[in-house]
Structure 1
Amino acid sequence: MLATLPKVVQVISRCSRRSWNRLIANSSVQLFLSTSWLCHYTMNKAIVRIPPDNNIVCIDYDIGFKMRYLQRDKDEVVSRALARIKLSYIKEKQSPKKKGKRNRQPPQQDSDVLQAFLLDGNGNRIDENITNGIAWSQAKQLVVGDKQYAIEVNPPKILSLRLPDTIMAQFPMVPILTAEFTDTIKYDWFTIAPDSNEETLVESKIVNHDSTQITAFIPQTQHVGSKLKVVCTPYNSQHTQGSDPSSVTVAAAITAGPGTCPCQMTHLYTKKRLTQPDSFRIVSYNVLADTYSSQEHTQKVLFPYCPPYALSIDYRKLLITRELYGYNADIICLQECDKDIFNQFYAPFMKGLGYDGIQDSKINNREGEATFYHMDRFNMIDHHCQSIGNTLKNDEIFKQICKCPTLKYRLLNRNSIVQIVTLQPKELENIRLVVVNTHFYFRPQASHIRVLQGYSMLKCVEKYCEKFIGNDVRVLYCGDFNSHPRTALVKLMTTGSVQSNDPVWHEGGEEEFCENISLRNDKKCVSFTGYPQFTNFVNGFVECLDYIFGQPEHFQVEQVFPSMTEEVATAYTALPSVVSPSDHVAIGCDLRLK
């Protein structure tokens, strides 16, 4: 019997609270556990958690094969918590073995007689008049009557763990987890054979939690058909292992990928991360919001050539994250990023690659802009988000716009936003890199609206940058501007002006025509990604709409991502497809600060 002890202890130590209570409800299990050597080995432990971000002390302990979970205020005197523990102990000792009114007995033991106290590491009794927060953090032992508990304070623990439901070979996989009191996590990846259910350890690594170390695992082609399992074991700074490692197994088997994706050609140019303190790689990508791709109109009218499964977000997010993973970028600007999917998938996945990020939704919408930055390269200094239209209300040009109510309504009724994230390169303390991420109005025959949005964006950023007087400020404008290279918006950004006689002011018809509107941009920009043949390729529309603008006196272009060819885009009729997750193409470049 003693020979089975290690296995029994291992099974018990991995039980969840609910499973433990079900297990010990079995009478035969209770008899087995009642042997003194096993009780001493497994039962006499109290787990104390003192989260730093709230005012609660949590104490988990067992009495009579039942787990007790006690929560007390940190500022409460510990004597009150000990009194509650004594009461639970007395009730359990006095409760009859058979439930029923006939068997109930009057109390046999006075709580004043029973002892309950805490001991510190030297065996000294802790003052019961100090607070829970102090007492339990110092305690090493809890004594209640004839029971003694070794106290474990803030043991490392995995609170939640999950993997995506769909896993494809050659696509990076990041476990999405939350943990507390954890400094490092050991990741053990297993494949499970489809026939024998035999588990094979494929990879094992220890990663610092809340660090920039990569936790991604990439299934290989030989793993197709097997299931994937990950076991996460938490450790704290004293290298103490958590008592219950957490594991999750994906129900569906690993499937083969769709074949070669267009992004893999670009990845040939982005294999290595940039390391020079004055250089960085930036990417801008409209990822096609699930809000739109899941609509029946989208699937049957806009993209009828794309299989429905390839339009589902569960499929597309794997292609998107694989694409971003291979770019090894330092800054990533996404448009049409759904808030829920950002929180549930993109943010934790990118954190596993060393990024932090922020998402801002458009006005009254579930999707918007998200900006990620690699935490090894940048510190985030500030974040700001603003509706584009509201900026113009304080500008002289707004007086002219108010003379045309239809134009005013159409401009202010747009839900576009300007997301601004200000970064400081780790080794360049005086630099303020202001990254602007936006997505302009999409309707045809609305170039006059978009150029006004561009002017509003410039004014918003100009006003925002006033807070960084004394710093070396550099600005990048990234996004889907829904404007081809010949439009007034691009003219405003690159030449610095759009005159009142420009044809763009007539695009909205007489109802939206407003006289004497001239726009000026004193900080002329260039498109650092050039003007590729297209960045948006759908059946019936092919155009360059996406840009990364900046002032040439501030940045030197080191490399530009190669453009997708028409041959590649039409391999599956158009975009999106089974190998391209969006109707847009990601753009990117390597820049050096001048």
Structure 2
Amino acid sequence: MHEGQQDQLRAVVHCMPSEANLTITLSLVGKQRNLDRPKSESLEKSLSRIQKSATAKPAKKQKQQLGAAEPAVPAVGLYDAKNGAGPLGGETPNVDAWQPGRILRVGELEYTVVLNPPTVKQIEVYGQAIVGIPLLPNVELLFADQASTQWAWLRKPKAPSFHAASSGGHSPRGHPASPRGAKAIHAEHGWQPSGHSERAYTPTSEDVGYMLRVICTPVAVRPTGYSGANGDTSTTEHGATASLDLGPVMPGPPVRAAADRHALTQQPLAPPGLRLVTYNILADQYASSNFARTHLFAYCPSKFMAPEYRRPLVVQELLGYHADLICLQEVDQKAFAQYFQPQLSYAGYEGYYTNKAGKTMEGSATFYRRERFRLVVQRDLNLRTIFHDLLEGRAATSRHAHFLPMLATSPALAHALQKVSTIAQASILVPRDSTCSADGPICLVNTHLFFHSKAPHIRTMHTAAIIDEAQQLIDQAIGSPQLSQELGGLRPALVFCGDLNSDLNDGIPGAVELLRKGALPADFWDWSYGATFAFNRSTDIDPNAVSDEDEEMPDAPAPTSSAPASAQRMRVARQLGLPDEAELAGWIPSERFPSDHLSVAFDLEWLPRSAPSAAASQHAGASTSGQQAQQAQRASNVLPAASEHVHKAVAALQRDEVIALPSDTLYGLAASARSAAGVQRIFTIKNRPTHAILAICVADREDVARYGETDHLAAGVLVDLLPGPVTVVLRRRPGSPLCAELNPGEATIGIRIPDAGFIREVCREHGGALALTSANISGQASPVNVAEFAPLWDQCAAVFDAGTLQAGREGSTLVDLSVAGQFKMLRRGSAYEQVVPLLTDKYGLRQIQ
């Protein structure tokens, strides 16, 4: 950034394409003014507001003086500097008026209009500054390139008056950048360059006691058109810098929690080796509860219980293992998004988070080293839903039917299984180096089983159900020609890990025995021990109501074979030893140990490959059979519903073709809602009359108003309904970008935002709505997996497979909100029970029949 730019008066305009308003920021009468104006508003209204802000207000004493002169009102106008003409007409819409290079004159002052400069909207760093642990700023940029953005780190001795919030362990937060430049920031007294210019900085022992400052300069590379025979040229634009102070730097524990184990893990393993870490990291919401402070962890100084202290120690421990796979439990939702995901992503890992089924905002997170693996299929398993559907007789859960006799004789158990919030993550990962014959695909399961000491039978049943669900996921992957090809024709090995909450002091728990042997006898002690357990409202609240043995017997990963009867595919080459009682030096968490659990690390190893082919190793429970299996073998257009394939879906839509893809309820056929040919193709595939009604699907709530009229809706109603399994019927907006062949003659339009990532990514990338309907011949059953509409595959440009959907076959609930003050239920779907009381009780709408 040039110094001259800092002294030039600027009117900075931010005009986001997805927003209805633009903002104008400039300095008037010694104060920064931020004007939020509609894009469609006339220029004269904005200039009038600027004029009012620029008019000096008289002091209170001046107001009281009789005959005091009125303050001078400056002339205000917006000029086009290129043609030197007069001011722009007042009727010009804001979006057309505030263009780069124009001049805003306010009295004798001239402001250059700068449109959408690279901007730091916010910068923040989570966690304390501790020696040896990376500090990674999270930055929100506008109109800037993340890869081109520039960083600098400074330091200076701690100032006595430094704000207590930064030194006391709270996360410092940045704010929108001020107009000062990097030179001005460097010039402040006492700040010394560290010589480090990367985004992340790891403090050293020389930094102890020093304050740190990170400086972010946003950069945008903008095309400037053509330059004769030389082709495209571009220019680099630097925005105003933003800075953030943090510290002082702390030395951290004298000895790291996993120092001895880290000495054995200084490099990642090479195939056929594979390093796995599983760790219950103690959710912040449990560590900070009143019960935790006064009873569970009363022995531990509060400064060591603060999340800003514990989180960095967890990351330091994880990174020191150089693991290929990391499974975390008790991860706070915000902690994942704000700290663990950015930190581990910067260190070379991909990961995802799954919240528990209840209201508590914590769950599990799975990470994999991106140089070693890529994700081909991922599924979240909601055990509460699985057992609820089983008891409701849903066909999709028939693989768990062996539990029904037990549940029929134990209503308390049946009730508990529909209330416990346990979830599991199942991920099929394939090696990136397909030429390495010693490596292979895996299905990684990560879970945190129910904690209650009187419910070992629930943990055992959950373990069995998770294994069955994971095996089905493997079967479906092998049964998909596209996925089978990505797997190299090999059946993934199942690796089951997590916090099993299983106490070994009373004997081998059923969950552990099941993983070891593949089956349990009918008289196993779990069943009788849990017979008196009854679930109540307080049962599922505090997972930290654990016994002392949980700290001595931490989480145990259990590699299992791909099917109980087949030979082991992997073996444990080494378990990295746990610290003994002397090293723990008392209770945990502590200054050294950030959790009330210990991390567990294993080195696994692939056994020499002598397995049968994937087709031969399939067993009962595969998702395809008979004619469907033959069609699956022939199909070449079935792809995983993964982000890497979004561009293929969009390309097909742009060619006016039809694709099949998963929503949050059913598999659907979709075409561009702008394409007459695509809409006609849907009717042809479904053998459906062309006058039948189709709904549309959009990516975000902000898109709804492009297609339907929403002005009459109560504030918040769309937030409560969407995204989710609800289709909202609104009056069709005149001039909306929909083809005439979509619902001709209809005054209303049904609009969906499925709670499913892939279809929403497709909508965003496509830049418009999709015409959407179920992927079946009209009158036939609605499909919940791709095998059920295999006869339609060859009529689709692509079929995107996300496995078996778990919402049942009811489809979305269809509700008419086209008339103010009332609603009408047009179709009962999977969210019906929630929608009606929401609209009547919360929003006071009248239901009509």
- Give the TM-score of the pair, scaled to structure 2: 0.53
Matched, 1:185 2:149: yes
1:263 corresponding residue in structure 2: 258
Q: Name the CA distance, whole Å, in 2 between partners of 1:574 and 1:185.
A: 45
Matched, 1:310 2:304: yes
Q: What residue ranges of structure 1 are gaps of 5+ in the alignment? A: 1-5, 14-40, 208-214, 513-535
Matched, 1:199 2:191: yes
Check 1:154–1:464 CA distance in 2 against 1; reply closer, same or farther (3 A cut). Answer: farther
Matches within 5 A, 1:368-517: 368-374=363-369, 383-392=378-387, 393=390, 394=397, 395-400=400-405, 401-421=407-427, 434-465=443-474, 468=477, 469-470=480-481, 471=483, 472=487, 474=492, 475-483=494-502, 486-509=508-531
2:556 corresponding residue in structure 1: 546
2:137 corresponding residue in structure 1: 175
Deviation at 1:406, TM superposition (A): 2.3
User: Cα deviations across residues 158-208 of structure 1 (Å, max 9, x unaligned)?
Assistant: 22223346332223222233222232333322221247973222232145x
Q: Name the CA distance, whole Å, in 1 between partners of 2:292 and 2:453.
A: 17
Of all paired residues, the percent bearing the same amino acid is 23
Q: Name the CA distance, whole Å, in 2 between partners of 1:92 and 1:55.
A: 23
Query: In proportion to residue count, which structure has more strand?
Result: 1
Check 1:584–1:95 CA distance in 2 against 1; reply closer, same or farther (3 A cut). Answer: closer
Q: Name the CA distance, whole Å, in 2 between partners of 1:366 and 1:175.
A: 24
Residues 418 and 438 in structure 1, CA contact (< 8 A), matched pair in contact too: yes
Deviation at 1:438, TM superposition (A): 0.9
1:156 corresponding residue in structure 2: 118
2:798 corresponding residue in structure 1: none
Deviation at 1:296, TM superposition (A): 5.0
Matched, 1:237 2:210: no
Select between 445-454 and 540-549 the one with higher mean Cα deviation.
Answer: 540-549
Residues 226 and 253 in structure 1, CA contact (< 8 A), matched pair in contact too: yes
Q: Name the CA distance, whole Å, in 2 between partners of 1:391 and 1:162.
A: 40
Deviation at 1:249, TM superposition (A): 1.8
Letter in 2 for 1:551: S
Q: Name the CA distance, whole Å, in 2 between partners of 1:105 and 1:194.
A: 47
Deviation at 1:234, TM superposition (A): 2.0
Select between 407-416 and 552-561 the one with higher mean Cα deviation.
Answer: 552-561
Q: Name the CA distance, whole Å, in 2 between partners of 1:62 and 1:309.
A: 42
Q: Name the CA distance, whole Å, in 1 between partners of 2:587 and 2:498.
A: 21
Q: Name the CA distance, whole Å, in 2 between partners of 1:53 and 1:557.
A: 52
User: Cα deviations across residues 21-80 of structure 1 (Å, max 9, x unaligned)?
Assistant: xxxxxxxxxxxxxxxxxxxx421x232323355444333345565544344455x3xxx4
2:540 corresponding residue in structure 1: none
Letter in 1 for 2:588: L
Q: Name the CA distance, whole Å, in 2 between partners of 1:107 and 1:172.
A: 54
Residues 262 and 564 in structure 1, CA contact (< 8 A), matched pair in contact too: no
Q: Name the CA distance, whole Å, in 2 between partners of 1:264 and 1:448.
A: 37
Q: Name the CA distance, whole Å, in 1 between partners of 2:70 and 2:101.
A: 36
Q: Name the CA distance, whole Å, in 2 between partners of 1:589 and 1:126.
A: 70
2:183 corresponding residue in structure 1: none
Q: Helix, strand or coil: the match of 2:218?
A: strand
Q: 1:87 aligns with which of 48, 72, 77?
A: 48
2:13 corresponding residue in structure 1: 48
Select between 146-155 and 478-487 the one with higher mean Cα deviation.
Answer: 146-155
1:531 corresponding residue in structure 2: none
2:206 corresponding residue in structure 1: 222
Q: Name the CA distance, whole Å, in 2 between partners of 1:65 and 1:556.
A: 70
Deviation at 1:445, TM superposition (A): 4.2
Q: Helix, strand or coil: the match of 2:352?
A: strand
Matches within 5 A, 1:269-308: 269-273=264-268, 281-295=275-289, 297-298=291-292, 301-303=295-297, 306-308=300-302
Letter in 2 for 1:459: D
Deviation at 1:452, TM superposition (A): 0.4
Letter in 1 for 2:469: C
RMSD: 4.3
Select between 100-109 and 159-168 the one with higher mean Cα deviation.
Answer: 100-109
Matched, 1:140 2:140: no
Q: 1:57 aligns with which of 12, 17, 22?
A: 22
Residues 337 and 367 in structure 1, CA contact (< 8 A), matched pair in contact too: yes
Residues 423 and 432 in structure 1, CA contact (< 8 A), matched pair in contact too: yes
1:573 corresponding residue in structure 2: 586
Q: Helix, strand or coil: the match of 1:322?
A: helix
Q: Helix, strand or coil: the match of 1:498?
A: coil
Check 1:493–1:123 CA distance in 2 against 1; reply closer, same or farther (3 A cut). Answer: farther
Residues 499 and 554 in structure 2, CA contact (< 8 A), matched pair in contact too: no
Q: Which has the higher contact order (CA 8 A, sep 6+)?
A: 1
Check 1:51–1:323 CA distance in 2 against 1; reply closer, same or farther (3 A cut). Answer: farther
Count of matched residue positions in the alignment of Structure 1 and Structure 2:
515
1:562 corresponding residue in structure 2: 576
Letter in 2 for 1:335: Q
Q: Helix, strand or coil: the match of 2:501?
A: coil
Deviation at 1:287, TM superposition (A): 0.6
Residues 79 and 85 in structure 2, CA contact (< 8 A), matched pair in contact too: no
Q: 1:247 aligns with which of 243, 247, 251?
A: 243
Letter in 1 for 2:258: C
Q: Helix, strand or coil: the match of 1:546?
A: coil
User: Cα deviations across residues 277-311 of structure 1 (Å, max 9, x unaligned)?
Assistant: x9764421111122333345445654565444333
Q: What residue ranges of structure 2 are gaps of 5+ in the alignment? A: 161-188, 223-234, 391-396, 535-545, 610-849
Q: Helix, strand or coil: the match of 1:309?
A: helix
Deviation at 1:547, TM superposition (A): 0.9
Residues 102 and 112 in structure 2, CA contact (< 8 A), matched pair in contact too: yes
2:347 corresponding residue in structure 1: 353
Check 1:432–1:302 CA distance in 2 against 1; reply closer, same or farther (3 A cut). Answer: same
Q: Name the CA distance, whole Å, in 2 between partners of 1:590 and 1:204.
A: 35
Q: Name the CA distance, whole Å, in 1 between partners of 2:463 and 2:410.
A: 19
Residues 444 and 495 in structure 2, CA contact (< 8 A), matched pair in contact too: yes
Q: Name the CA distance, whole Å, in 2 between partners of 1:577 and 1:62.
A: 51
Select between 293-302 and 411-420 the one with higher mean Cα deviation.
Answer: 293-302
